[in-house]
Amino acid sequence: MIWKFLLTIVVMLGAYLVVRTRWRAAGRAGAPTAPPLLLSAGLVRTVAYALLGLMLAGSGWYLFWQWETGNAVLAVEVVNANTGAVTRYEARRRTIEGRGFRTLDGREIRLADVERMILEPASAHRLPVGAE
């Protein structure tokens, strides 16, 4: 995931460097002047910085939300369809994948074909301290 961000930053930096060298080359070559802008450069720069800030804030919020959702503790009930036996575990949402998960104490659980997984918020199944 971090490589996606690094690649994006490298591409943006490369685009900035290309545009900057083209502007400098055009300024030295005595290129014809552009028509006057309808908006001032300060206003355009302010809008650009505001959009950049909004995008960074949105990306930061999304990353935080993904992290918080992945760290949510869920109560996992494994039900054997043949016998009806129910076994309860607790696991973080990000560790639940397909037919298996990792419990909070580090055990790897893989479900058999006859077992079913039921996920619920862990707060509904919390036992008092010392009761098991």
Same domain, 50 and 18: yes
Same domain, 46 and 12: yes
32 located within any domain:
no
pLDDT value for 20: 86
pLDDT value for 125: 54
Q: Along the chain (132 residues), what's the average pLDDT of each consecutive run of 10 residues?
A: 85 88 74 63 88 95 93 93 92 93 94 92 60 42
65 located within any domain:
yes
Report CA-CA distances (Å) from 55 to 28, 43, 48, 123: 34, 18, 11, 34
Who's near 87: CB < 8 A, 6+ residues apart? 77, 78
Distance CA 86, CA 104 (A): 18
Same domain, 77 and 107: yes
Q: What is the number of domains present in the chain?
A: 2
Same domain, 105 and 48: no
Per the listing, tokens 């943006």 go with 12
Domain extent at residue 88: 73-125
